[in-house]
Amino acid sequence: MSDTKRGIWLMVLTMLIFAMQDGISRYLAGEYNVIMVVMVRYWFFAAFVLTVSAKRAGSIANAARTKQPILQSFRGLLLAAEVCVMVLAFTLLGLIESLAIFASYPLMVAALSGPILGEQVGPRRWIAITIGAIGVLIMLKPGLGVFSPYALVAILSSLMFALYSLLTRYAARLDKAETSFFWTGTMGCIGMTIVGIWYWENMTAPDWGWMLILCITGATGHYLLIRVYELAEASAVQPFAYLQLVFASVIGVTVFHETIEWNIATGAALVIAAGLFTLWRAQVSAADPPSK
């Protein structure tokens, strides 16, 4: 119980750090191009990944050893592209609306786990997925004359991250977590450098300071997340991941003067409730497979 409580508090802290990272990304991407910002962030992240993977696997060679290099490479490149799309959504929609829509990705994971992983999704979880989809529609407000096509960028980001999550679970059938972590950081760094070097822009000294803070918060957040799952089971701490939306909303309102519209609050509440129910049903199904 002590470790679970520590894990929960660390998860809360991790979500606060990730929300801060989102806020800094939103600022920098508003001043410079998204690709360069993500590229520099990945340079620091790759160094962190190499250090952690080598320590946990015994050496970099052990961490890099995989039975499915194509899959692992695609995962790393997909996540890098998803980060670019998400940061772009921050600049187009703001933190609050982007992350509210992004919160639907666990429901996409549940919906796609059948055709991609061959997992069985029961009728109750399909009902939750449908309710979550209704929540997203409420946030988009289609047909009311205020639908923003920029919302499709946030939807694309959540779909890409859902696919990345499913491929990570698929890769785990043959590779260790350290190996997947290694390929995530290194391939993302390589891909972003090949593309991003052509989009280089000179940054001011203060903004380089913000970039350094962005890199540090990214590495710190990932390290704490690793510690979280070492201390507590994922099922105990995962519900607290939604606090990232809460913390980011505070930053969006206080720093970027965003507003929380009724449709965003209502839709996000439905999405989060459906996500928590889906998580609970997954736990029940894992404990009692025949019961769906």
Rounded Cα distance, 56 and 60, in Å: 9
Q: Which of 73, 29, 16, 7 is nearest to 210 (CA)?
A: 29
- Sign of torsion over alpha carbons 218, 222, 227, 231: positive
Q: Which two tokens stand for residue 34?
A: 């998204």
Rounded Cα distance, 131 and 165, in Å: 21
- Find tokens 């519900």 and name the residue: 239
Q: Which two tokens stand for residue 217?
A: 């918060």
Q: What is the 3-state secondary structure (H, E, C) of 75-132?
A: HHHHHHHHHHHHHHHHHHHCHHHHHHHHCCHHHHHHHHHHHHHCCCCCHHHHHHHHHH
| CB 219 within 8 Å of CB 211 | no
For the entire predicted model, the pTM comes to 0.84
- Find tokens 């696919």 and name the residue: 163
Residuewise pLDDT in 10s, the chain (292 residues): 457 778 878 888 988 998 999 999 999 999 999 999 999 999 999 998 888 888 887 888 888 889 899 999 999 999 999 999 999 999 998 888 888 888 888 888 877 877 777 767 677 777 877 877 777 777 776 544 445 778 889 899 999 988 998 888 888 888 888 888 899 999 999 999 999 999 999 999 999 999 999 999 988 888 888 778 777 776 667 777 778 888 888 888 889 888 877 777 887 788 778 777 776 666 666 566 544 4
Rounded Cα distance, 258 and 248, in Å: 11
Domain boundaries, the chain: 2-287
DSSP string, the chain: -HHHHHHHHHHHHHHHHHHHHHHHHHHHHHHS-HHHHHHHHHHHHHHHHHHHHHHHHSSHHHHH--S-HHHHHHHHHHHHHHHHHHHHHHHHH-HHHHHHHHTTHHHHHHHHHHHHH-----HHHHHHHHHHHHHHHHHH-TTTT---TTHHHHHHHHHHHHHHHHHHHHHTTTS-HHHHHHHHHHHHHHHHHHHHGGG-----HHHHHHHHHHHHHHHHHHHHHHHHHHHS-HHHHGGGGGHHHHHHHHHHHHTS-----HHHHHHHHHHHHHHHHHHHHHHHHHHSTT--
